[in-house]
Structure 1
Amino acid sequence: LFRRTNIGQAMAINKNIVFLCAVTLPAAFLLAATFHDINLLSNGVSKLYKGASAAVSAPDPSKPRYIFVDLGANRADSLEAFLQHEHAKFEYDFPSPSWATHDDADIYLFEANPHFNYDLIMAKERYIAEGKKIQIFPATVADVIDGTRTFYLDTINVGQDYWGSSTNPNHPDVVNSNSNGTELTAVNIARWLLMNTLPRDFVVVKMDIEGAEYDLVPHFVEMKAWTVIDYLLVEWHTALPQESAIKAAVEASQKLMAEGVNMPEYNSGA
């Protein structure tokens, strides 16, 4: 009788365990499936600065940062110019605050052309080894949306690093390349700036994106990105857009400058 009682009790306990598992495990899987990291934007870009790599410590939240955002980084040519390397492809005196040097900057490189993925990875590895703070966004379109965007490759201008690659299917170099386009990740860059920088930071944005500036600059105004941008350096491609797009970009530039954004002339020649 004693053994039968123990067996009965054990069976009852096992039934309870089975019941609890049946109830709790599906709930746990449901929670895991619906978990959303509140520190990520909809495209997976972090809202919070977490350093360029595990080897780079997060900045002091009580201090402003010097931030360089390179839209159209190519094979890191403008990065080398920014860091004032002797053998950089071109020279330009990028603005800096009185309290920091170019070597102190937090650097973010965006480049859509997948051809330069390897170069950007190598540049990041090299400069992080030197103590620089760099994050790269290869095969990523700086855009007015989060999602995907068709990007058209220039395959003919080898000596100019395929500089005609563009989101514009009517770009002459794209047309001459017979490019059908490829789908790439798109980042709402105005939103990214607003989520990843602060008004107290010194933010320099360089933009060389083969005509897409006529979409992005007005969008900066719509998003009130002037609240976080100190300098906006745009290489204008005036032969590409329609007159209406040029007019909208001029008006947007005037608005940005009226709100305190510095927009000096910029032309890399690269």
Structure 2
Amino acid sequence: MEPSLGKPSFLKNNLVRLFLFCVFIIALRFAYVVTIRGESCDVGNFCFFSLPDSLNVVASSVGQLEKSSYSAVISSSGKSAPSAPKKIPDLWATVGFQKAVRFYSSVFQDLISDAVLSPNFKTLCVDTASGADVYALREIGVEDSIGIFKKGFKPLVISGQGLKQPFLNENFDFVFCGGGVVEKSVRPGEFAAEIERTLKPEGFLVVHTGANDTYSFESLLELFSFCKLVKSRDFAGFDSQMPFIHEFVLQKVAGKGNIESIVEKSSGGSVSKCSVPGYKQELLKKAEPLIEEEPKKPWITLKKNLQNIKYLSSMVDISFKSRYVYVDVGARSYGSSIVSWFKKQYPKQNKTFEIYAIEADKTFHDQYKYKKGVTLLPYAAWVKNETLFFEINEDPGHKSVEKGRGMGRIQPVQNSNGSTSSGNVDEIKGFDFANWLKNTVSERDYVVMKMDVEGTEFDLIPRLFKTGAICLIDELFLECHYNRWQKCCPGERTTKYQKTYGQCLNLFTSLRKSGVLVHQWW
């Protein structure tokens, strides 16, 4: 009888299974160490390879960096941190990262020499994508440094945003905003408010920007109005994204108060007059010239003039404004000027504007009910709060009822018996437009206004000057109504308005002489 071969085969199969099981355990351990814990493979954790013995100058100091990194995370956020990871991120060994570190090290060393920065400071780098600035701070001895970015990567950067920081009030001695992060912020006002909250009194704020026009610089200083300017300088950047850098060194003024009080002071009713700053007046030299000779066909002149207009946002960088606001006074329908002109043609530099539509004719009110980002004020812009009569202009020449409406005039109740030549009058509410403007926007906001109020501009503009609200308007598109030549009847002037073209020209001229960037509108 032949011997059985079943027993050797059974042992062989078991050995193979045991071997495969061991391989599986080793692979599982390797995956845990490298993937889950984030450690490198040179620390005796079942790894079969190790990092090179030599790395470049930046990577060589990683060991020291890791020890100080997590203590900074604990001190900055108030939360305990896990043990420092030993894996060197690939980013830290790249040429670009090393170049950035050398650049920021030089910048920060200069700031130490100027007594703006100290090794004992607690510092924050806002919205830092790579963490090279944080690395540079620690490399030169400012160990209590941390960065925030929407996607954190410890030990250099924790998760957070510039406009929503995960830190206590008055937590940092030094805040750094590099790489043009301020102008890239979607809500600069909230961004500035968070820096004010977390920066200690008399702490320093350093901003790097690529903007190079005076309007931007002044807007930046106004945005961080809780600080005083210590110094500024220009120098070359380290990459193609920002080849030229303008550096602002600001210091928080102790006891100046928060942003809300500053905005209230600039936009409240306590200040009645203002003067347009010189840098805004300089921009008027670049504006298109006013049309001094009365056009025979103003409806054609409008189309030609649109091609000549020098928009403010095409001449300067508007990134440092707290908010962006468009006010359409005499808006009529949603599609008439908000959609057909402002949304399609005005250069907004990718900024999101809050839109206010002021329209007294109730015919158009339903169009605004479900329009996101648009606030309807269903009243008449006026010089005070009172009940008014609104003359509805029904133009039989228009096939659409909508096109013939919204172009009426307003009259105070006490000056009217309730009837006009047209016989179609609505009783409406008028509001103090200048006062509303001062309570809605501030000098830190970017405000664009279009005004088409059927002759009421001769009441509203003087009121804006008297109250100082005119200084809150960055750019004004004004239609001035006069007894112009009629399209239907060549050689005849309209009897609807008593003002002349000369009076309108004087209005535009006075606005520009006062430093207001106004454009002629028809």
Q: State whether TM-score is above 0.5.
A: yes
1:105 is the counterpart of 2:360: no
Task: Please name the residue that 2:325 is paired with.
Answer: 67
Deviations 1:147-200 (A, max 9, x none): 22211112344532314322159xxxx955322x33211111111111110112
TM-score computed with the length of structure 2 as normaliser: 0.32
Cα RMSD of the aligned pairs, angstroms, is 3.1
Deviations 1:115-161 (A, max 9, x none): 1121222xxx1x31xxxx221112x1011111222111123445323
Identity rate, percent: 27
Please name the residue that 1:260 is paired with.
Answer: 515
Instruction: Report the secondary structure of 1:265's partner residue.
Output: strand
* Equivalent position amino acid for 1:230 in 2: D
For the residues of structure 1 that align with 2:347 and 2:329, how far apart are their CA atoms? 16
Task: Specify every segment of 5 or more residues in structure 2 that has no aligned partner in the other structure, as ranges.
Answer: 1-186, 193-320, 413-418, 484-495
Please give the residue correspondences for 1:59-208 in structure 2 after superposition, counting only pairs within 5 Å.
60=190, 62=192, 64-76=322-334, 77-81=336-340, 82-84=342-344, 93-94=345-346, 96=348, 98=349, 100-101=350-351, 104-121=352-369, 125=370, 127-128=371-372, 133-138=373-378, 140-157=379-396, 159=400, 160-167=403-410, 175=420, 177-179=422-424, 181-208=425-452
Q: CA deviation at 1:95?
A: 5.4
SS in structure 2 at match of 1:74: coil
Distance 1:61 1:69, change over 3 A: farther
- Cα distance in 2, alignment partners of residues 197 and 245 from structure 1: 32
What is the one-letter code of the residue matched to 2:477?
L
Give 1:263 shift.
Answer: 0.6
For residues 223 and 246 of structure 1, the distance between their equivalents in structure 2, rounded to whole angstroms, comes to 25
Q: Report how far residue 208 of structure 1 moved.
A: 0.9
Any conservation in 2 of the 1:150–1:183 contact (CA below 8 Å)? yes
Q: Report matched runs for 1:26-37 at 5 Å.
A: none
Preserved CA contact (<8 Å) 2:327 2:448? yes
With 202-211 and 158-167 compared, the bigger mean Cα shift is at 158-167
Q: SS state of the match for residue 438, structure 2?
A: helix
Change (3 A) 1:177 1:222: same
Distance 1:216 1:110 in 2: 14
Q: Deviations over 1:73-132 (max 9, x none)?
A: 111121112111xxxxxxxx4354x4x43xx001000001111121222xxx1x31xxxx
Instruction: Report if the CA contact (8 A) 1:190-1:225 is conserved.
Output: yes
Letter in 2 for 1:232: L
**Structure 2 Cα separation of the partners of residues 212 and 252 of structure 1:** 13
What is the aligned partner in structure 2 of residue 218 from structure 1? Answer: 462
Larger radius of gyration: 2
Give me the whole-angstrom Cα distance separating, in 1, the residues matched to 2:501 and 2:383.
15
In structure 2, how many angstroms separate the alpha carbons of the residues matched to 1:256 and 1:199?
A: 18
Aligned amino acid, residue 377 of structure 2? F
Describe the SS at the equivalent of 1:200: coil
- Greater relative contact order (Cα 8 A, min sep 6): structure 1 or 2? 1
Supply the distance in 2 between the matched residues of 1:193 and 1:111 (Cα, whole angstroms): 15
The structure-2 alpha-carbon separation of the partners of 1:108 and 1:163, relative to structure 1 and needing over 3 Å to count, comes to closer
Q: Is the 8 A contact 1:230 1:260 kept in 2?
A: no
Change in 2 beyond 3 A, CA 1:168/1:245: farther
- How many residues are aligned here? 185
| Distance in structure 1 (CA, Å) of the matches to 2:347 and 2:517 | 10
Answer yes or no: is the 8 Å Cα contact 1:226–1:260 preserved in 2.
Answer: no
User: Structure 1 length normalisation: TM-score?
Assistant: 0.59
Matches within 5 A, 1:30-49: none
Contact persistence 2:387–2:428 (CA under 8 A): yes
CA distance in 1, matches of 2:324, 2:461: 22
Q: Give the C-alpha shift of residue 253 in structure 1.
A: 3.9
Q: Tell me, what secondary structure is at the counterpart of 1:151?
A: strand
What amino acid is aligned across from residue 69 of structure 1 in structure 2?
Answer: V
Residues 1:115 and 1:165: Cα distance change in structure 2 (over 3 Å): same
Aligned partners of 2:451 and 2:478 also within 8 Å: yes
Which runs of 5 or more residues in structure 1 are unaligned? 1-56, 85-92
Task: Say which SS state the counterpart of residue 430 (structure 2) adopts.
Answer: strand
